[in-house]
Structures are given as structure tokens and as C-alpha cells.
């Protein structure tokens, strides 16, 4: 049973934020649903204009973030060399 008054222990911390994305590999992650095919490429285009030395890996290269096995998703992100990620309203 979930007790909303109880404390939640944090066992896994997020990776530190990047100082910048110049020269970094940025991966788009999505649930492959609402407008993902329109929104994420546009985010990539805008960021690519602003940070031309960054590399972007499309959300199509990764499994659906909500239905994926976490180990498979982690392996795909590692294999792609992701140093940062974009998760937008499409995912």
C-alpha cells in the first residue's frame, strides 16, 4: 500500500548536467506518440542552428521510453554515445 505521508528514499541520482552542448552528442528520446515525428526534428533543427558542432541522434534510433526495457534503452543510449538527451512534449 502506498502511504502518501511516507518518505521516499532516492537511490539513483541523475547524471550531472552538461556545461554546454557544443561538440556533444545529444539524443532525442520519445514515447513515439503525439507529434513526435514533427516536434523532435524541429527541436533538433533549431538546436543544430544554434550549436552547429553538436551531433543529434533522432528519436527513431531508440525504443519507446515508456514501454522499453530499461536495460535495452540504456544500452541503446550508450551505444549511440549520448552525452545529453532531449525529451520534449512528444515524449
Radius of gyration of the chain (CA): 15
- Alpha-carbon distance of 63 to 29, in angstroms, equals 8
What is the structure's pLDDT at 34? 78
pLDDT tens string 12-28 = 777 788 888 999 999 99
Would you say residue 57 has pLDDT above 90? yes
Of all residues in the chain, the percent with pLDDT exceeding 70 is 86
Average pLDDT rounded to a whole number, residues 30-54:
88
What is the structure's pLDDT at 91? 41
What is the structure's pLDDT at 89? 59
Spans of all domains in the chain: 25-87
Q: Which pTM was predicted?
A: 0.74
- In 19-87, which ranges are E strands? 25-29, 55-57, 84-87
Amino acid at each position: 500500500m502506498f502511504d502518501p505521508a511516507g518518505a521516499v528514499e532516492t537511490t539513483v541520482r541523475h547524471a550531472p548536467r552538461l556545461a554546454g552542448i557544443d561538440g556533444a552528442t545529444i539524443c532525442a528520446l520519445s514515447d513515439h506518440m503525439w507529434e513526435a515525428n514533427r516536434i523532435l526534428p524541429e527541436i533538433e533543427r533549431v538546436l543544430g542552428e544554434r550549436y552547429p558542432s553538436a551531433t543529434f541522434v533522432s528519436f527513431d534510433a531508440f525504443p519507446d521510453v515508456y514501454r522499453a526495457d530499461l536495460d535495452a534503452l540504456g544500452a541503446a543510449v550508450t551505444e549511440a554515445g549520448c552525452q545529453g538527451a532531449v525529451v520534449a512534449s512528444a515524449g
